Amino acid sequence: MCGIAGCYQQADGHKLTDVMTERIAHRGPDSGAIWSHEDERASLHLGHRRLSIIDLSSSANQPLVKGNLTLVYNGELYNYRELREELRQQGAQFTTSSDTEVVLEAWRHWGPPALLKFRGMFALAIADTTTGELVLARDPLGIKPLLYLRRGNGIVFASELKALLSAVGPELKVEPGAMVASMLYYWVPEQRCSVQGVTKLPAGSWARFRPDGTSESHAYWRVQDVAREAAAAPAADLASIIAESVSAHLIADVPVSSFLSGGLDSSIITVLAHQQVASVDAYTITFRPEDQKLEAMPDDAVYARKVARQFGIKLHEIEISPDIVDMLPRMVEYLDEPIGDPAAINTFLMCQAARERGVKVLLSGMGADELFGGYRKHVACLTASQYQRLPAALRGPARAVVDALPVSIGDRGLRYPRWAKRFMTFAELPEEARFRRSYTMYDPADLTALVGPELGTCVNSVIDEHAAIYDDNDLDDEVNRMCLADTRLFMAGLNLTYTDRASMAASVEVRTPFVDLIVARAAFSIKGGDKIRGGGINPLRKTAKAALKDAAENWLPHEIVHRPKASFGAPLRAWVRGDLRELIDDVLVGGELTQLGLLRPDRVRRLIADEQAGREDYAKQIWQLLSMELWYRQVRAAGVAAA
């Protein structure tokens, strides 16, 4: 795992590459270097920061130069040994034992088709001094980030947005549509960037830039195509495929540890990893009792301890009780864009604790919920389909009762009223709209009322983008349509993004065995009815992630497989009503976004008042707005022009 940056056809390319590479030094504290090449046709500058995981020798440092090709590469190739042997048989010669050299020689021998042979996570740039061309490429599911900016006749690129801002911030401007998207989703989708002109290279794609200023880009892998093909095939053997993926993700020349929440997904990964490598230990989080009470959070650590004890896994417990007033601005900086998910703090603090113990690699159970139908919203949307069949004479009184429910009493949060209120916001909508509303923070009318005129003009286009992505498939069941949309939107835009930024801020690599092209294909071979089982309108009678639970019975005790679903959350409501209350009043209510008219002050104050009185559950909305205010101040300080 590393950080990359570079410039193509830029007169000041070496200076900019140096600035960007230094700005992302946290991604690779083990070594760093810049390679430059200039001739009458091309100006090429590639920078790299290395976190040594495979082949720890200095000979594997980057940029890697061999003949006419130079590579900078962020990620891991889990099948590099097999590909090395295949390339050797075709005449390739190797001077290191690194996966980096395999990537370079694979590109030399096979060109773009090499990308279909790679199993792993990666973002890379390859310069060819013979042609003067530069190629960028990104892994199939978008685990590793890569952003670029067209500038003059060339481009500037980097692993993180902050690197681009450090180099050319005063040339850039905030993108208002991305701010609206952040308010809707509480994160910025891959299809947008919060700074105008910056593009996130799409997952599963590559782009070539030429000296004459022309370029081309191609998708080499699309999850919607894979989902369609898999749906027409027999159901895969999940147990063997998942076990093999965990095995592949253990390849490293440093010790590997694992996240363990005690939930199904992390327990599968941790137990399988420990069975294959006995030295694998685990990290879990705990919270202060008073925070758990207001949040109505289950004590996940109880289950993590049970798993660790039963399988003999060493468990490290990290209490999440940061000085959140100090921590929040730092997290906003780490995350690059206005991402309003406090789970990023959990990831950073666990990675930081692991790094202090010498750990460089952690395994995560991320991706299982998206691929196998594990979120409450999936069950809720199916329930809504059945709810709509009830007579209106019953639905009306039900809504009135739910509307009158409080979401907390004193210092105790009420989970079921919160969920019921949420359900009623989408229960009578058509499929795509209800799925969107099941996990976004506003309906279009409320979002339009919250923002000023400049942002209000962007609301419809953001809503339309969601519909276009949701409908872009040929699948015949609702569960898999939701899983596909989550894979393209929620997993890529939020979960993979915050995990990369938060973990790399602590100089730790997180690997995700469920987010794997072979596992993804297997997931979409499972029918929706086998992912969420059970009929009737009662959501408590439905079993989410049923097919994955069937596979998990091979490895885990029944109590862990069928325990209630818990989110990878944080004591958000305790923070909003307690620790952050003064910051909210001082920074958000009278902040730049309200002063500039981007947010309507009266609407912001109403959200805060309803949350603090316990009438409504607006903690997530307030957290996102506060995060966006802090982000806006930070990018403006970097010279980025106002929206």
216-268 residue pLDDT tens:
999 999 999 999 999 999 999 999 999 999 999 999 999 999 999 989 999 99
Q: Distances from the Cα of 620 to the Cαs of 9, 152, 183, 302, 623, in angstroms?
A: 43, 40, 10, 26, 5
Residues 251 and 217 in one domain: no
Tell me how many degrees the CA angle 252-514-303 measures, rounded to the nearest 5.
Answer: 95
* Residue 574 maps to a domain: no
Helix (H) or strand (E) holding 446, with range, is helix 444-450
pLDDT-based confidence at 392, cuts 50/70/90?
confident
- For residues 443 and 568, give the distance between their C-alpha atoms in angstroms, rounded to a whole number: 25
Residues 55 and 180 in one domain: yes
Residues 131 and 187 in one domain: yes
Q: Distances from the Cα of 464 to the Cαs of 332, 365, 467, in angstroms?
A: 27, 31, 5
Residues 199 and 319 in one domain: no
Residues 66 and 153 in one domain: yes
- Residues 508-535 pLDDT 10s: 999 999 999 999 999 999 999 999 998 7
pLDDT at residue 601 greater than cutoff 80: yes
- Residues 473-488 pLDDT 10s: 999 999 999 999 999 9
Number of domains in the chain: 2
- For residues 632 and 529, give the distance between their C-alpha atoms in angstroms, rounded to a whole number: 44
Strand order in the sheet with 154-158: 31-38, 43-50, 2-8, 154-158, 147-151, 198-200
pLDDT at residue 43 greater than cutoff 60: yes
pLDDT at residue 631 greater than cutoff 90: yes
Model pTM? 0.94
Q: How many CA atoms lie within 13 A of 217 on its CB side?
A: 12
pLDDT at residue 294 greater than cutoff 80: no
Percent of the chain whose predicted confidence (pLDDT) is above 70: 94
* Residue 592 maps to a domain: no
Residues 91 and 22 in one domain: yes
pLDDT-based confidence at 97, cuts 50/70/90?
very high
Residues 217 and 314 in one domain: no
pLDDT of residue 547: 98
Task: Select, from the ranges 210-224, 307-321, 523-537, 602-616, the one with the highest average predicted confidence (pLDDT).
Answer: 210-224
Of the listed ranges 138-142, 209-213, 285-289, the least confidently predicted one is 285-289
Report yes or no: 195 and 635 within 8 Å, Cβ to Cβ: yes
What would the mean pLDDT of 308-320 be, rounded to a whole number? Answer: 93
* Residue 469 maps to a domain: no
What would the mean pLDDT of 349-361 be, rounded to a whole number? Answer: 95
Domain termination site, one of 177, 197, 221: 221
* Residue 544 maps to a domain: yes
pLDDT of residue 295: 55
pLDDT at residue 297 greater than cutoff 60: no
- For residues 608 and 616, give the distance between their C-alpha atoms in angstroms, rounded to a whole number: 10
pLDDT of residue 637: 96
pLDDT-based confidence at 567, cuts 50/70/90?
low
pLDDT at residue 291 greater than cutoff 90: no
* Residue 330 maps to a domain: yes
What would the mean pLDDT of 71-100 be, rounded to a whole number? Answer: 97
Residues 183 and 304 in one domain: no
pLDDT of residue 534: 85
Residues 363 and 259 in one domain: yes
- For residues 531 and 544, give the distance between their C-alpha atoms in angstroms, rounded to a whole number: 6
Domain termination site, one of 524, 539, 561: 561
Q: Going along 303-418, which residue ranges are E strands?
A: 315-320, 361-363, 408-409, 412-413
Both tokens assigned to 36: 């430059």
What is the widest separation between alpha-carbon atoms in the chain? 77
Identify the CATH number of the domain in which residue 238 sits.
3.40.50.620
Q: Going along 353-421, which residue ranges are E strands?
A: 361-363, 408-409, 412-413
Of the listed ranges 181-190, 348-357, 394-403, 585-594, the least confidently predicted one is 394-403
Average pLDDT for the chain: 93
Expressed as residue numbers, the domain containing 263 is 225-373+479-561
pLDDT of residue 420: 75
Residues 242 and 204 in one domain: no
For 490-518, give the secondary structure using H, E and C.
HHHHHHHHHHHHHHHHCCCEEECCCCCHH
pLDDT at residue 45 greater than cutoff 70: yes
Of the listed ranges 18-22, 178-182, 341-345, 395-399, the least confidently predicted one is 395-399
pLDDT at residue 127 greater than cutoff 60: yes
Q: Going along 39-77, which residue ranges are E strands?
A: 43-50, 64-66, 69-77
* Residue 404 maps to a domain: no
Both tokens assigned to 417: 């009223």
Identify the CATH number of the domain in which residue 189 sits.
3.60.20.10
Residues 317 and 199 in one domain: no
Tell the residue number behind the tokens 């952003």, with chain if given: 147
pLDDT of residue 289: 67
pLDDT at residue 415 greater than cutoff 70: no
Residues 265 and 324 in one domain: yes
* Residue 354 maps to a domain: yes
Number of H helices, E strands in the chain: 31, 19
| CB-count exposure of residue 550 (10 Å: 0-12, 13-18, 19+) | middle
Domain termination site, one of 543, 561, 579: 561
Percent of the chain whose predicted confidence (pLDDT) is above 90: 83
Which one-letter DSSP state was computed for residue 589?
Answer: I
* Residue 119 maps to a domain: yes
